A and B are shown apart, each in its own frame.
Chain A
Amino acid sequence: MTAMTETVLVGQGALIEALLRGEFICKTTNEDGWRALKSASTREHIEQYLNQINRTLAQAGEGEVFFCGYLQLGERERKVISQQFRDICNALTPLVEWLVLVQEANGQDAPLSEGAAIRLTELQSRIEDTPAFKEQLAKISHYRLFGSTSSQVDAQIKLVFKRLVELGYLLRPNQEKQIYIATGKLDYLYEVIRFIDETEGLSLELQAETATQRELM
C-alpha cells in the first residue's frame, strides 16, 4: 500500500517537475504523464499544487497537449508572456515554411502533426535532388530562429533539426538514428496560427483555397 502511494506521488512529482520546466506534455513526449493528465482526479491534484505557486494547468490541441500557465497575472508575469508571445510570433514564418517544405519534399498530403516520423536522410536526399527545395532550405536555415551560416545542405538541415529538437517541436528517440518524431507542440503551433487567423480575420484558409483553384484553372 505504502509502495503504491509512493510511486503515485513520485509519478506526480515528476509530472509537476516537467510542467514547471516549461515542457509541453503530449502522448509523444511523455506518454505516461499524458495518460495521467487525462484523468480528472490527477489533473485536480496537480492543479491544486500548481495553484499554490500561482501556476495553472493549461491545455491545447483539443486537450492533447498540456503545459503550465500562470494563475494570476501580475506585472512580472505579463512581461514573461509578452516576451514569449514575441518569440512565437517571430518563429511562426520560419516554422511554417519548414512545415511546408517537409510536406512538399515528402510529397505528403497532410502536414506534419504529432506522432509523425521524419527520416532525415530520406528528406535530405529529396531536398538535394531538387534545386527549389534546396533554395527553400537555405532560406529557412538562415532565419534568426535557426541561424545557420553554412551553404551546405547537410549542415543546414542538421542545424535546423537540432534547433527544432531544442525548441521541443521534434523528438529524437534514438541518438544513433536520424529519425525524428513530431511532438504535440506542433499542434499547439497550428492552434496559435488558427487563433491569430480567427481573431484578426485574415481568412487564411479561404485565400489558400482560392489560390489553389486559380492554379487549377
Chain B
Amino acid sequence: MGNNLHQAGVKLLKQLGRHAELVMDVYLAGSIAENNDNAAIVDKLRKADILYRPEAEQELRLKRSVRALLEEALKDERNRQIDANVGSSMATIKTLADHYKEARHAVDYAASEAYLADLSEHVYAFAEGLRYSIRVLWSRINNEFGYVGTINAKIRENELAQSQVTELLNGLEMVQFDELANIAGDIRELRKLLVTRLQETLSDCTQELSVVQGRLLELLGRFRQIQGRTRLLKGWLLYTDQHPDYNPDNHVGHKQVPNLFNQADALIAPASVDVFNTGHENELLQLVTQIKSIARHQVATPTREHDVSMSLAAAEDFDIPDNPLKLAVDEYFCAVIDSGMRQSALQYHQQQGLEWDTESWLYQVICGFEGLPEEHRQYFELEPIGEPHPRFNGNFIIKDVELWLA
C-alpha cells in the first residue's frame, strides 16, 4: 500500500515537472483552451486530476490544490484565500485523538503509532495553516493592497481581509482547552500535542491577529481619508457649478472665531545689533575680526534647464598655451623624429646646453610622452634608465630616459 502510494506520488510529481511550462501557463492565465497542439498533454493532465473542466463548454482550469501549492510556494500576492475553518480541523484532531486512545487501550501498538503520526501531522498542519494565513494577511497589508488599482477596490479588499481576520479570531475562540485537556488525560504524547503545542500556537496567532486587525483598521482609515478628500474636492466643484453665486458664510464674523481661521498676520521686526551694549562688546569684536572682504562680481550665474553635453574630442581644442620647457621637450621629440635614432634625454640636454634643471627636464620629457594623444604616442617608445633603490624595495630611481621611434 505504502509502496503504491509512493510510486503514484512520484508519477504525479514527475508529470507536473514534465509539463511545467503548460501548468504555469494555466496558472498565470487562469484557464487553457484545448487545441491540436496540446491535446495529448492536456488529456494526460486531466487524467492525473491536475486540470479539470468546471462546466461543460468551459475552458480547463488548474485544480485548487495545485493552485494552492503554487500560490504558497511562489508567495503570490494575488492569493487571498484564507482557510478560516477552525472548527472542522479541531473536530478531526479530536476524532484522531480518540482513535489513538482506543488503540492504545487495546495495546495495538502498530495502530496507535500510525494514529499518533496522523494526529501530529494534523496538529502541525493546523498550526502551519494559521501561520500561513497570517503571513498572507501581512503581505497584503505591507504592500497596501497594491495589487488592485483604485482606492475603492483597496477599501473593499481591506474589508475582505478584516472579515477574514474576524472569522479566524472567532474560530480560535471556539477552541476549548479544558476539553482538549480532558481528551488528552494523562497520556504524555497527547498532552504535548494537544495542550502545550496547540496552546502556544494559538496564543501566538491570536496576538498577531489582533495586531493585524489594528493595522487593517489603520489602513482603512487612511484609505477613507484619501477617498474623503477626493470626494470633498469633487463635491466642491459640483456644488459651485450648481450654485454659481455661492459664497461661503462669514464664519469669522461670530463672537467665537473658529481656531482654524484664527491666523495672525506676519509680524516680524527687523533685528539689529545693539552696539551700545557693553556686555556684547567682546563677541562683536570677535565677529568683526572674522569678517573678510570678499569682492564678488554681482553676476547671476546662468542656470541651465538641461545638461548641455560637450565632449573633448579633438586634442587641439583644449591645448593650453605652452611654456618654454614644454616647447623644448617638443623640439626634443622632433629631433628624435628627424634623426630616427635612439636618443638619451640627458645627452640631448647637455648637447643643447639647456638651462633647466636636469630633474625637471626628465620629468617634463616623461610628461610630454605620457601627455601625447594616444594615436601620436604609438609612434614613440620611451625607456627609463635607472636602478632600483638599494634599501627600499620596489622603488626605481630614474637617472635618464631614452626615446626612439617605435
Interface set of A (CB-CB < 8 Å, partner B): 17, 20-22, 53, 55-56, 58, 60, 67-70, 73, 77-78, 80-82, 84-85, 88-89, 92-93, 96-97, 99-100, 103, 109-111, 113, 175-176, 178, 188, 190-197, 199-200, 202-209, 211-212
The verdict on B324 contacting chain A, using a C-beta distance below 8 Å, is no
Q: Which residues of B contact A97 (CB under 8 A)?
A: 237
Q: Are A208 and B264 in contact (CB under 8 A)?
A: no
Partner of B236, one of A58, A199, A204: A204
Q: Are A82 and B252 in contact (CB under 8 A)?
A: yes
Taken together as a complex, chains A and B put the C-alpha atoms of A159 and B260 apart, in Å, by 28
Q: Which residues of A contact B266 (CB under 8 A)?
A: 20-22
Total B residues in contact with A, Cβ cutoff 8 Å: 39
Q: Which residues of A contact B303 (CB under 8 A)?
A: 175-176
Binary flags per residue of B239-264, CB closer than 8 Å to A gives 1, else 0:
11000000111111100011111111
Shortest distance in angstroms between B253's beta carbon and chain A's nearest beta carbon? Answer: 7
The verdict on B228 contacting chain A, using a C-beta distance below 8 Å, is yes
Partner of B235, one of A68, A110, A208: A208
Sample (11) of A-B pairs whose CB atoms are under 8 Å apart: A21-B266, A53-B267, A81-B263, A96-B237, A113-B226, A193-B233, A193-B236, A196-B251, A199-B249, A205-B235, A208-B232
Q: Are B247 and A89 in contact (CB under 8 A)?
A: yes
The verdict on B376 contacting chain A, using a C-beta distance below 8 Å, is no
Q: Which residue of B lies closest to A192 (CB)?
A: B260
Partner of B252, one of A85, A96, A209: A85
Partner of A73, one of B226, B257, B305: B257
Q: Are B264 and A110 in contact (CB under 8 A)?
A: no
Shortest distance in angstroms between A116's beta carbon and chain B's nearest beta carbon? Answer: 11
The verdict on B150 contacting chain A, using a C-beta distance below 8 Å, is yes
Q: Are A208 and B252 in contact (CB under 8 A)?
A: no
Q: Which residues of A contact B229 (CB under 8 A)?
A: 110-111, 113, 190
Q: Are B252 and A205 in contact (CB under 8 A)?
A: no
Shortest distance in angstroms between A121's beta carbon and chain B's nearest beta carbon? Answer: 9
The verdict on B231 contacting chain A, using a C-beta distance below 8 Å, is yes
Partner of A204, one of B151, B226, B231: B231
Interface set of B (CB-CB < 8 Å, partner A): 149-151, 226, 228-240, 247-253, 257-268, 303-305
Q: Are A200 and B248 in contact (CB under 8 A)?
A: yes
Q: Are A195 and B237 in contact (CB under 8 A)?
A: no
Partner of B259, one of A69, A111, A211: A69
A17-B268 CB under 8 A given contacts A70-B262, A85-B251, A195-B258: yes
A197-B235 CB under 8 A given contacts A69-B262, A176-B303: yes
Q: Are B231 and A209 in contact (CB under 8 A)?
A: yes
Q: Are B263 and A207 in contact (CB under 8 A)?
A: no
Q: Which residue of B lies closest to A197 (CB)?
A: B232
Partner of B260, one of A60, A78, A89, A111: A60
Shortest distance in angstroms between B263's beta carbon and chain A's nearest beta carbon? Answer: 6
Taken together as a complex, chains A and B put the C-alpha atoms of A108 and B257 apart, in Å, by 36
Q: Which residues of B contact A73 (CB under 8 A)?
A: 257, 262
Q: Which residues of B contact A202 (CB under 8 A)?
A: 235, 239
Q: Are A195 and B268 in contact (CB under 8 A)?
A: no
Shortest distance in angstroms between B265's beta carbon and chain A's nearest beta carbon? Answer: 5
Q: Are B151 and A110 in contact (CB under 8 A)?
A: yes
Taken together as a complex, chains A and B put the C-alpha atoms of A80 and B265 apart, in Å, by 7
Q: Which residues of B contact A178 (CB under 8 A)?
A: 305
A78-B264 CB under 8 A given contacts A197-B235, A207-B235: no
Taken together as a complex, chains A and B put the C-alpha atoms of A197 and B228 apart, in Å, by 12
Partner of A84, one of B226, B236, B237, B261: B261
Taken together as a complex, chains A and B put the C-alpha atoms of A103 and B151 apart, in Å, by 13
Q: Are B150 and A100 in contact (CB under 8 A)?
A: no
Shortest distance in angstroms between B46's beta carbon and chain A's nearest beta carbon? Answer: 40
Taken together as a complex, chains A and B put the C-alpha atoms of A97 and B237 apart, in Å, by 7
Taken together as a complex, chains A and B put the C-alpha atoms of A17 and B230 apart, in Å, by 35
Q: Are B239 and A207 in contact (CB under 8 A)?
A: yes
Shortest distance in angstroms between B48's beta carbon and chain A's nearest beta carbon? Answer: 44
Q: Which residue of A lies closest to B265 (CB)?
A: A80
Q: Which residue of B lies closest to A191 (CB)?
A: B260
Taken together as a complex, chains A and B put the C-alpha atoms of A217 and B62 apart, in Å, by 35
Shortest distance in angstroms between A198's beta carbon and chain B's nearest beta carbon? Answer: 11
Q: Are B233 and A22 in contact (CB under 8 A)?
A: no
Q: Which residue of B lies closest to A175 (CB)?
A: B303
Q: Which residues of A contact B249 (CB under 8 A)?
A: 196, 199-200
